[in-house]
Structure 1
Amino acid sequence: MNPPLSRTNAEAHLYMDLHPCSCGESRFPRQSAVVALDDGDLASRYTGTCAGCGRDREFVFRLPPVIDGAGTGFRYGGDEPSQLLDPGEWLLVADAYAGQVPAAATTGEAAQRARAALTRAVAALDEVGKFIPAGGDAVPPDVFGSDRGRQLHQREPGRFRRDRLTAVRDAYAGMLSQLG
């Protein structure tokens, strides 16, 4: 067994959230443990029981050889592209988080939720950009590995251009800075 690499716990949890049980439920109480793989590398193993149907669920993710704690702020991973999610999935994640932000300026708990959602939307857009080759102007079509990612790219290929991703990211970051 050669499990996929998860660069951070946040990326692993997002992956599990996006891969529901066969009954359709994505929630399950997760216990985690670090386990040794046959090749001596370490992995995170998440187990639990589906909240919808009671089936046992298990996910195993290879841990990176070095945990990249550099930088500030919320991140899903280092400089390399994700092995768990393709750029279309990351863009859908960014859309979902941005869609949680109310149009009107908010205060208190609502502002905290808006900040958290925008922070994750910006981080997800950063992940999309990691799939653009150096010197390239767009995400290449051959890196979409999921059906939902390919479908989004086929419907809206322009959303995967560097200039458009940068504009949307800058807009979200601007909204985030206004929330304080």
Structure 2
Amino acid sequence: MAPPLARTHEETYLYFELHPCPCGEVDFGSTSSLELVDDEWIVRYTGQCVACGRPRGFEFRQPDEPTAPDDGEWAPGREPSQLLDAGEWLWVADVYGSVPAELDGLSDAEREQARTDLLAARAAIDEVLKFLPARAAEVPQDAFWSYRGRVVRTAEPGRFGRVRLEAARAAYDRALAEFDR
């Protein structure tokens, strides 16, 4: 079976963050190598956990034409992620979306960080929407393959309906518009 496609470096490193060593450490002092295997570019990240020394490794396919996402994107295009499932993306949106509701009193650096986090949250909602088939009312069950993703879905399955996802995206748009005032 071919390794999953890592669409961007940003998605790859987010995957690392969400899949730490069993000891809880994310950093594994990785080195990477790139190899052409059966007409596909395969990147391997290997290293040892900096906390416990456990060997760690990941292998992903790379796009034929590497691209950097635009500001406010995790990955370009309409294809859903193969690294993170729909539930993980909603979890990411929740984490990045928890910024102060009131912007008054924030320093310039805090305002910029809040804006960056909101862009990441909105982009994560866009990633969930990529799992939604055309005209489907909700994200299908097979879009949840990770433990975290299934937990998020089980806790609040209604959040994966088209109407709720589009409403969440619109709420992030409104919150981001506050930065332009």
- Scaled by the length of structure 1, the TM-score of the pair is 0.89
User: How far apart are 1:148 and its partner, in Å?
Assistant: 1.8
Work out whether residues 5 and 82 of structure 2, in 8 Å CA contact, stay in contact via their aligned partners in 1. Answer: yes
Match for 2:167: what amino acid? Answer: A
**Matching residue of 1:172:** 172
Which residue of 71, 74, 99 corresponds with 2:72? Answer: 74
Amino acid in structure 2 at the alignment position of 1:132:
L
Give runs of aligned pairs for residues 25-174 of structure 1, distance below 5 A. 25-37=25-37, 39-68=38-67, 72-77=70-75, 78-99=77-98, 101-105=99-103, 106-174=106-174
Q: Could you tell me how far apart the structure 1 residues matched to 2:70 and 2:16 are? A: 25
TM-fit CA distance, 1:137:
1.5
Structure 2 vs 1, CA of residues 177 and 20 (structure 1 numbering), >3 Å: closer, same or farther? same
Residues 72/23 of structure 1: CA separation in 2 closer, same or farther (3 Å cut): closer
Alignment match, 1:7: 7
Letter in 2 for 1:177: A
Deviation, structure 1 residue 159:
0.2
RMSD of the alignment, in Å? 1.9
Aligned partners of 1:8 and 1:168: how far apart in 2? 24
User: What is the CA-CA distance between 1:141 and the residue it aligns to?
Assistant: 1.9
| Aligned residue pairs, count | 177
Aligned-residue offset at 1:132: 0.8
- Where 1:122 maps in the other structure, the secondary structure is helix
Q: SS of the residue aligned with 1:118?
A: helix
1:179 counterpart SS class: helix
Q: Residue 14 of structure 1: SS of its match in structure 2?
A: helix
Q: Which amino acid aligns with 2:159?
A: R
8 Å CA contact 1:141–1:153 kept in 2: the answer is: no
Deviation at 1:27, TM superposition (A): 2.5
In the alignment, the residues of structure 2 paired with residue 48 and residue 179 of structure 1 have an alpha-carbon distance, to the nearest angstrom, of 40
The one-letter code sitting in structure 1 at the alignment partner of 2:134 is: A
Shift of 1:68: 5.0
1:32 and 1:45 in contact (8 A); partners too:
yes
- Structure 2: distance between partners of 1:174 and 1:31: 40
Task: Give aligned-pair identity as a percent.
Answer: 48
Mark the CA change 1:22 to 1:72 in structure 2 (over 3 Å): closer, same or farther. Answer: closer
CA distance in 2, matches of 1:72, 1:6: 16
**By how many angstroms is 1:74 displaced?**
3.0
For 2:173 and 2:56, locate their aligned partners in 1 and report how far apart those are by CA, in whole Å. 36
